[in-house]
Amino acid sequence: MFEVNSNYGELQGSYLFSEIASRVAAYEQAHPDADIIRLGIGDVTEPLMPAVIEAIKKATDEMASRDTFRGYGPEQGYAFLRDAIAEHDYKALGADISADDIFVSDGAKCDTGNIQELLSPSSRVAVTDPVYPVYVDTNVMAGRAGSYNKEAGQYKQIVYLPCTAENGFDPALPKEKVDVVYLCSPNNPTGTALNQLQLQKWVDWARDTGALILFDAAYERFITQPDIPHTIYQCSGAETCAIEFRSFSKTAGFTGTRCAYTVVPKTVFGQDASGTKVSMHDLWLRRQTTKFNGVSYIVQCGAAAVYTPQGEAEVTEVIDRYLKNARIILDGLAKIGIKAYGGVNSPYVWLQTPNGMPSWDFFDLLLNQAQVVGTPGAGFGSAGEGYFRLTAFNTRENTERAVARLGNLSLT
């Protein structure tokens, strides 16, 4: 019988959100009339903006006529979208990124998951803890994580960098030799963001040690504070050591529409087994042209509309609405004496559970007492224990109702 990739056998249990779904389903079955408010999974709730809708419909009309129909497009994305991205997301900030450094894709989850294919199987990987599970699981599948240490809740070959209130959510540089580090800022799940100095420290470290930074900036559009960089390429030297991931999912409500992009500057090099320098841009281009066929034309047209004056205004309005929700949650938590972080440059609020309660216990308490669903911090890694994530992705009304219920929690 043929043999499978045995690394999959090292993956742990079910995915965080399946466990949440099953606990909520059990609660609903026991309480069929419960009015549950979901501040758990990080999915948007506001509809697509008028500018996007209009662009998608116009593109759909083009697909209906032979003269304007589009078949296969460039795997890297259409020039009209890559140009708009380079102009608005980089050049406008003084970051020297050109359109052909940009690879349009159908999701940052795909790209952050697939990027590790370009690395040697023996690469030493570091992640922050807590962490978006995809970074770890995709390296487990590739055999880079080693076996799982149940007691520690960690893989033996992965380097975990704790990221907690104690260190101000600014993880220390790894002490051991590391080849690749995943950084996410503004962070999922903590909602905190690295400032210019903190991020520059990582870029300097990568340049000094010859490491690669995989920088996930999916939540960039939520940044409000002036000292938080919008792209890692605002840090000096990042164009030689960093790959950046961006998405229209949270920016423009594309979680169900699917469009993202990855920036691989032509100045990022690794080396092969024989020590020859290899361009990461060339490798990713080869990977994408071989295993991917580009994003739907109509979706790319929708994404490009985000960069029109109308699109920009509509995006800002929606983001502001979510950020106001986050502010309401932060204020509500402060009022009942729960410490919380994030929510200022991010749609995520990361609270410390009262009296150090285990985060799954707090999940059950919140569901039972307030019919509010959140995400237990422990689901994102062992350093997430004692924390809990609430999201601003909901209507104003539901956010206010949820916060009102928090006021009635019995926490002792």
Binding residues among 219-258 for a second copy as defined by CB under 8 A: 253, 255-258
- The residues in 194-213 that bind a second copy, with binding defined as CB under 8 A, are 210-212
Interface size with a second copy, residues (CB under 8 A): 84
> What whole-number distance in Å separates Cα of residue 173 and Cα of residue 206?
10
Helix ranges restricted to H, 295-409? 297-304, 309-335, 359-370, 396-406
Kindly identify the residues of this chain, within the stretch 123-142, that bind a second copy according to CB under 8 A. Answer: 123, 133-134, 137-138, 141
Residue choice 20, 24, 44, 383 for contact with a second copy (CB under 8 A): 44
CB of 172 to a second copy, least distance (A): 20
Cβ neighbours, 10 Å, residue 317 = 11
CB of residue 313 vs a second copy: minimum separation in angstroms? 17
Q: Is the four-CA dihedral 85, 236, 216, 182 of positive or negative sign?
A: positive
C-alpha closest to that of 214 among 295, 159, 268, 158: 268
The interface with a second copy within residues 376-395 (CB under 8 A) comprises: 395
The region of 63-71, 84-92, 317-325, 338-346 touching a second copy under the rule CB under 8 A is 63-71
Site for a second copy in 65-84 (CB under 8 A): 65-66, 69-73
Stretch near a second copy under the rule CB under 8 A, chosen from 46-54, 164-172, 221-229, 346-354: 46-54
Which CB atom, from 31 or from 57, has the smaller least distance to a second copy? 57
**Minimum gap (Å) between residue 179 Cβ and a second copy:** 4
The only residue of 84, 97, 102, 114 in contact with a second copy, by rule CB under 8 A:
114
Using rule CB under 8 A, residue 344 touches a second copy: no
179 binds a second copy (CB under 8 A): yes
For position 119 contacting a second copy by CB under 8 A, the verdict is yes
Are residues 287 and 118 in contact, defined by beta-carbon separation less than 8 angstroms?
yes
Q: Could you give the count of Cα atoms lying within 13 Å of 49 in the half-sphere of its Cβ?
A: 27
- The DSSP call for residue 74 is -
Identify which of 175, 140, 141, 147 has the alpha carbon closest to the alpha carbon of residue 160. Answer: 175
Closer residue to a second copy, CB minimum distance, 43 or 400: 43
Could you tell me the smallest distance in angstroms from the CB atom of residue 11 to a second copy?
6
The Cα–Cα gap between 142 and 132 comes to 17
Q: Is 364 near a second copy (CB under 8 A)? A: no
* 172 contacts 202 by C-beta, under 8 angstroms: no
180 contributes a contact to a second copy by CB under 8 A: yes
- 355 burial type by CB count under 10 A (0-12 exposed, 13-18 middle, 19+ buried): exposed
- The answer to the question of residue 262 lying near a second copy (CB under 8 A) is no
Neighbouring CB atoms inside 10 A of 187's CB total 26
